[in-house]
Structure 1
Amino acid sequence: MEPYTIKNLPELLSFYLGNSKSIKKFEVSRLTAPGENFGSVMLKVDILLTNNKTGGEEMLYAVAKMLPESELFRKIFKVQETFLNEMAFYEIIVPTLHDFQRRVGVTNVLDCFSECLATRKNLLGGSCIIDDDAVLIFENLMADGFINIDRFEGFDLDTTQLILRDMALFHAVPLALRMKKPEVFRNYIEPYCSRFREGQDIMDPMIRASEAVLKENKAVASWAYKVNESFYKPRCASREPFVTLIHTDLWTNNTMQKFVDRKPVANKFIDFQGFYYGSPASDLLFFLWSSVPKEVLELHFDDLIKYYYDHFIKAVNDHSFIDSRLNFQNFMREIEIEFEYEFGHALVYCLTVVSSKAGSRNMNELGTPEDYLKRITLKEKENAWFIVRDSERRGWLKK
């Protein structure tokens, strides 16, 4: 597929640029290494713009998200569904949430998403088929100082709290919308929420590798079977009153942060290919276990849950909705229920996705359990063993 190109870029960006600016030239290059993003190809797009009135020039730094190069991963990630849904997220869902916030008097609307400049399904005209010309164009957050932290290190306490504040608001706004304007939620949110789950052919080797890691430690070996059972357990129907919009894949690679004097000051969530409506406890557990190191969780796990909840309930109330059922005791019950599904999800990702280095995967083949086991470090094993021991201590693990 190299050299990389984006067909008809001036036409694609015409609405965003309007009549005042035009594209003089642009350069496209790979943004991330092969193996960093399995569900898409991410391209860096540097665009030189001309002001049509003054003749002056300026740079527009953008990112393009395109289909995976491999047909295998196009099938695995169900691109005909996930790309359409992600386009709808930025074109329909985000404006719907912002409109709701403004109508209830909130002036500082959700700002934890990158700006989407343009989308295209194909060049066929009037068709909803996703093909090789499908693309989403975003602002390049790196040009504004945002970075992805090292997923092998995870987030420190301050950065974790920053992300949890945004996560709480992201969950609270659709929940308040659903309760106050159920018809709006049904018409503008729910139609684009389809449960994405990787196929068994790609996940089974990851699950077997994760089970093997647990069996290495006698203290947790008896729970190895629970990984497979949890990962494939059919989810029960979403429960009132906590049902809301959830990301389903919130981990280090799908968040970006800006730092000033080494302090985290802003956060963005990215990659909305698999969003769904469900329990906020699902996102919370997966994020904490997949992205926050054991050293932080050992000291602050309970505090971080309470920190998230306090910001969540405040945000719900700020959007003119109060429901006594949304109390902390019920939220902890929600966490215990979601644990049954997120335990396997988080362990598999911790051990086989977070640990996977860029370029370490053949993008045209599925990995084997042995492939994954060779890449898992002692630190990652210890993180997984901690999750099991801590969950057992809390009484969440049940035979």
Structure 2
Amino acid sequence: MTPNPTVAIVEDVPTEMQEKFASILSDHGIKDEIDTITMVHPPELKGEHMATATVYVTINFKDATKKPKNLFVKKFTNSELFTKASRDMKIMDKESEFFNKFLPACREFCAKFEGCKDLLHFFPACLYGDENMVVLENHVLDDEFVMLSKEELQDLETAKHVLGNLARFHAVTHSMVDECGGRDAFLSKWNLVCHEPLMTEDNPFVKGMFDNGLNTCLTILKGVSLPDAKETATKITAMIGHTFTGVMKCLAVSPEDKVVLVNHGDCWNNNMLFKIDTNSDGKMVIKEHMFVDLQITRFTSPCVDVTYFLHTSVKSEVRREHLKDLLTHYHSTFSGTLTRFNKKCPNTFEELFSDYKSRAYYGYLSNLNFFAMIGALKELDFENMGGTTPEEMVEGFNRIMNAWIANNPVKSTKMAQGMIDVVKEYGNLMES
């Protein structure tokens, strides 16, 4: 039976895990006697995270006057194959290293400069992290943060807010490279944070992932009657067989690259939290923003993060009409933050734009792949998806996607138009 996507799923908390939660609270000075511990898979997060599961843990105390403690926990899914792949990629180890060691080191660096102590305020408080799970404060239940709809995507002001924080984080990690004595020393010290977990030649889950997504795009395009659908399908068909090589080229760095730093690695709507308000006109206003899911951090050009974010999380019309404005905002924030650290920005805007164009294929391809699956994420049960091999899991994914396409003709047509538009957009960018 397929779980009801609108109902929270309660999961039993093993005794060993209960003891771990009690130990974590004790380490943070909370030694009150625990009454009950509940763990739920919130329905609003179904389909929001794939490599690991996100659960809310609520700890109630014997003393009923004491407020329950809410935790935001990342753990492995119940799929043995998915968990093995995630462990092989060391994604939980990476996130734990990020929160336990790297982020504190970054904050220690910032504190050396006037007014910069709280510069990296846009990361959640972490209580614990190891190779099995990461435990964060639950800013959703306790502090009114929300996740924006990935289908609606971000408007211009929201995108600028995120890009500003991303630029500040990038500026800090760029400065940390200098602080360590250069790239080689930095890579040696922060090897796990910089380690590429996903896009590797020996990862069976990704070698055919992009081609598989493009084939789904072709299935959608062939089922609609839209101007330019056939031409778009022809261009996408020509990409198949070359996508993984193209992505690896986008991620690669060379000694000639002026700016290489720690990327978030998966900087899109799913991995952000927002505290929002409304102005007098009833328009949504972003008050605060946080990055979460630091599981695939990588060491590469900042434009990899930027193009991925702009293509997966920002309204397409905003990206097309305001690309230079968005990149200017990013660059000015990046440069301004470096100035606060008494450093000169190593690249001009023109150099940033050139680098962005050379790596935009990654965002473009990611955009097409998101079109291929975004509408059906709520119906993809990664917790219980069958299959004992990567190939079988891909087959299961394709069955779900094909059924979704057949059952959602209106949404499929809208997605097809989005594919047509983004293919034209990328062509125009390459010609600019």
Q: Is the pair's TM-score, using the shorter chain for normalization, greater than 0.5? A: yes
Question: Aligned match of 1:226 in 239, 252, 258?
Answer: 239
Contact residue 36 and residue 359 of structure 1 kept, 8 A? no
Counterparts in 2 of 1:1-399, with a 5 A limit?
3-5=11-13, 6-8=17-19, 9-17=21-29, 21-32=32-43, 34-49=46-61, 57-78=66-87, 81-105=90-114, 106-121=116-131, 134-143=132-141, 144-182=143-181, 185-195=186-196, 196-197=198-199, 198-200=205-207, 202-213=209-220, 217-224=229-236, 225-226=238-239, 228-233=241-246, 234-235=248-249, 236-238=252-254, 240-261=257-278, 262-323=284-345, 325-348=346-369, 350-361=370-381, 363-364=385-386, 365-366=393-394, 367=396, 369=398, 371-373=400-402, 374-375=404-405, 377-395=412-430
Aligned to 2:408: none
Cα distance per residue 1:162-192 (max 9 Å; x no partner)? 1111111111110011124336734543343
Partner amino acid, structure 1, of 2:350? Q
SS in 1 for 2:310: helix
Tell me which moved more, 56-65 or 220-229: 220-229
Contact residue 336 and residue 396 of structure 1 kept, 8 A? no
SS in 2 for 1:26: strand
Output the CA distance in 1 between the equivalents of 2:133 and 2:372. Answer: 28
Partner amino acid, structure 2, of 1:245? V
Output the CA distance in 1 between the equivalents of 2:243 and 2:212. Answer: 15
Output the CA distance in 2 between the equivalents of 1:89 and 1:23. Answer: 29
Tell me which moved more, 191-200 or 96-105: 191-200
Partner amino acid, structure 1, of 2:194? C
Partner amino acid, structure 2, of 1:352? A
Cα distance per residue 1:46-83 (max 9 Å; x no partner)? 123578xxx95122221111111112222343456111
Output the CA distance in 1 between the equivalents of 2:397 and 2:117. Answer: 50
Output the CA distance in 2 between the equivalents of 1:114 and 1:263. Answer: 20
Output the CA distance in 2 between the equivalents of 1:80 and 1:300. Answer: 36
Q: 1:322 to 1:190 in 2, by over 3 A?
A: farther
Aligned to 2:6: none
SS in 2 for 1:268: strand
Q: 1:161 to 1:82 in 2, by over 3 A?
A: same
Aligned to 1:128: none
TM-score of the superposition, structure 1-length normalised?
A: 0.85
Q: 1:34 to 1:267 in 2, by over 3 A?
A: closer
Cα distance per residue 1:121-165 (max 9 Å; x no partner)? 4xxxxxxxxxxxx22111112121111111111112221111111
Aligned to 1:126: none
Unaligned 5+ residue runs, structure 2?
Answer: 1-8, 200-204, 279-283, 387-392, 406-410
Q: Which has the higher helix share?
A: 2
Partner amino acid, structure 1, of 2:11? P
Shift of 1:280: 1.0
Shift of 1:204: 4.2
Cα distance per residue 1:371-393 (max 9 Å; x no partner)? 43544633333223222111211
Cα RMSD (Å): 2.7
Partner amino acid, structure 2, of 1:179? D
Q: 1:223 to 1:179 in 2, by over 3 A?
A: farther
Identity of aligned residues (%): 20
Output the CA distance in 1 between the equivalents of 2:171 and 2:240. Answer: 30
TM-score of the superposition, structure 2-length normalised?
A: 0.79
Unaligned 5+ residue runs, structure 1?
Answer: 122-133
Contact residue 92 and residue 188 of structure 1 kept, 8 A? no
SS in 2 for 1:266: strand
